[in-house]
Amino acid sequence: MTKISFIEGAILPIDKPLNWTSFDVVKKIRYEIINHFNIKKIKVGHAGTLDPLATGLIILCTGEKTKTINELIIDSKYYEGEIRLGATTPSFDLETVIDQNYLIPDLDKEILKNIEEKFTGEISQLPPLFSAKRIKGKRAYEYARNNEHIELKPNLISIYELQLKILNKNTLGFSCHCSKGTYMRSLARDIGSSLNSGGHLISLRRIKSGKFKIEMAKSIEEWIDIIKAS
């Protein structure tokens, strides 16, 4: 294996586990590098947030490679996941409990094809209240968790490819290739709304970001072993 220069600068594709925040991953890897190499500090950052309830590819940069983060963030992303129809939650995923139930729509291939076409291309998307988007110096989720009302503005995003499939009567599977800034939770909500029902995200996995694929990623534990062996 090629020697990795963690201190000078490295790009680490990591398979983020469930219930870890992106910052948790950054903090853990930073701690391991500082501890192993006996240094006081090192720059570590990530090239694109992944929600705690999502798994999959997150790109970490260390040292001088943190200067490439802005280049990596703009890369398009690929996701796979599942949408539960017939109900909504305030966070558009399983972080919060169901706040409203709806009739479950009858689905067929033609209906799904129409939805795929509707949500492919350049679209205006309203971010979730429970998101890391910064509003007046605070994260949107901080306002949401304190029950503070804020107005979020829609973002113009691009969905290059969307494929839907029926998993059961109230669950859709999907794969999506999209631009940076696209919220899969908002997509789940909007798909549910377009079906005259409700919808929320129940699973999400990032499988590609730019040139990086999930097959290239290692677990946090694997990266820690590599750091300790350096």
* Tens-digit pLDDT profile for residues 102-134: 999 999 999 999 999 999 999 999 888 766 666
Query: pLDDT category, 136, cuts 50, 70, 90?
Result: low
The residue type at 94: L
Angle between helices 109-118 and 184-194 (to 10 degrees): 130
Q: Identify whether the C-beta of residue 200 lies closer than 8 Å to the C-beta of residue 84.
A: yes
- Is the model's pLDDT at 1 over the cut of 60? no
Going through the chain in order, the beta strands assigned E by DSSP cover: 9-16, 44-46, 55-63, 77-85, 87-88, 100-101, 121-125, 134-135, 138-139, 155-168, 171-178, 199-209, 212-213
Q: Where are the alpha helices (H) located in 10-124, listed in sequence order?
A: 22-37, 69-73, 109-118
Active site residue 225: no
Give the per-residue pLDDT at 145: 66
For 44-67, the pLDDT digits (tens) are: 999 999 999 999 999 999 999 999
User: What is the average per-residue pLDDT within 19-24?
Assistant: 96
Q: Give CATH for domain 9-74+211-228.
A: 3.30.2350.10
> What's the confidence (pLDDT) of residue 131?
63
In this structure, what token pair is assigned to residue 27?
Answer: 């903090």
> What is the average per-residue pLDDT within 29-33?
98
Res. 152: pLDDT tops 90: no
The percentage of the chain sitting over the pLDDT mark of 90, rounded to a whole number, equals 85
Helices (H), 119-209: 140-145, 184-194
Give long-range contacts, CB 8 A cutoff, 24+ apart: 39-42: 39/7, 42/6, 42/7
18: which 2 tokens? Answer: 């469930």
The burial class, CB within 10 Å (0-12 / 13-18 / 19+), for 218 is middle
User: Nearest 5°: phi and psi at 186?
Assistant: -65, -40
Confidence of residue 144 (pLDDT cuts 50, 70, 90): low
pTM above 0.85, yes or no: yes
Which CATH entry fits the domain spanning 77-209: 3.30.2350.10, 3.30.70.980, 1.10.3720.10, 3.40.50.970?
Answer: 3.30.2350.10
Contacts of 168 (CB under 8 A, 6+ apart): none
- Residue of 135 and 37 predicted with greater confidence: 37
From 15, 24, 51, 190, the catalytic residue: 51
The segment(s) of the chain belonging to CATH 3.30.2350.10 are 9-74+211-228, 77-209
